[in-house]
Structure formats: C-alpha cells, structure tokens
Amino acid sequence: MLKSLEAQLGVITPAAKAAGIDVSTHRNWVKNDPAYAEAVDDLAFVQLDFVHSKLLEGVNQGNPALIMYYLSSKGASLGYHHQRSAHWAKQAAAANGEDDRDLNITIAYE
C-alpha cells in the first residue's frame, strides 16, 4: 500500500484500489500501526514536492499569477508581500454588502 500511495501522490482511494485493499483497511492500519502511520505521514512530502515542482514549472513559463503567489509566500522575508489580492478583496466587499467599485488594492514591495 505504501508504494501505491507514493505512486498516487498520497491520494488514498486510488492507492487502495491499486493495492487491492479497501480504504477502511488503510485507515485501520493508520489508526493501529504507528510505524505505518509514520510512513504514511512521510509520504505527504512526496505530494508537496510534486505540487512544488508544478508551481515552479509555471513560474519558469512566466505565469504572472504563479510568480506573484510564489513571491508573496516564499519571498515575504525579502520584502515581497501583498496586503490583499483583488479577488479576495472583491469577495470580502461583496460579503460585507459593500460597493467594490471604489476598492483600493495595495501591493507593497519593501
């Protein structure tokens, strides 16, 4: 099952199917076998590495949204951060019943 989980990037249902076990069997193993549970936890890094590699592919292709996301999350210590994205700000204004036509968005680079 662990090899299947790795191949499926930690997604349980297709991994269990590939391993020929029921999802409930996997959950029982996680609950009752500390060594198995730890091995499953370690596989979370496989998924994270995969997603990170896809993010960097997008950055390398010049995707502006991914570049801004990366800089705002990973580059914050270097002064790259944003106060609020336009999308989130519009959603917040709408949720509060506010008019978003006069909404000001500030992106600060320090």
Q: Is residue 24 assigned to a domain?
A: yes
CB 18 within 8 A of CB 7: yes
38-62 pLDDT, tens digit per residue, is: 999 999 888 999 999 999 999 999 8
Q: Is residue 90 assigned to a domain?
A: yes
Q: Is residue 95 assigned to a domain?
A: yes
Whether residues 41 and 69 share a domain: the answer is no
- In this structure, the number of other CB atoms found within 10 A of the CB of residue 109 comes to 10
Whether residues 66 and 104 share a domain: the answer is yes
What's the burial of 73, exposed, middle or buried (CB within 10 Å: 0-12/13-18/19+)?
exposed
Helix, strand, coil content of the chain in percent (nearest 5): 65, 5, 25
Q: Is the pLDDT reported for residue 103 higher than 60?
A: no
What's the burial of 58, exposed, middle or buried (CB within 10 Å: 0-12/13-18/19+)?
middle
Can you read off the two tokens belonging to residue 15? 């991994």
Weakest-pLDDT range from 32-36, 62-66, 78-82: 78-82
Whether residues 41 and 67 share a domain: the answer is no
Q: Is residue 53 assigned to a domain?
A: no
Total domains, the chain: 2
Q: Is residue 57 assigned to a domain?
A: no
Domain interval for residue 19: 2-45
Q: Is residue 21 assigned to a domain?
A: yes
Question: What is the structure's pLDDT at 90?
Answer: 58
Can you read off the two tokens belonging to residue 23? 């999802």
Whether residues 35 and 8 share a domain: the answer is yes
Q: Is residue 34 assigned to a domain?
A: yes
**Reported confidence tier of residue 68, pLDDT bands at 50, 70, 90:** confident
Q: Is residue 70 assigned to a domain?
A: yes
pTM over cut 0.75? no
Could you identify the residue written with the tokens 């409930």?
24
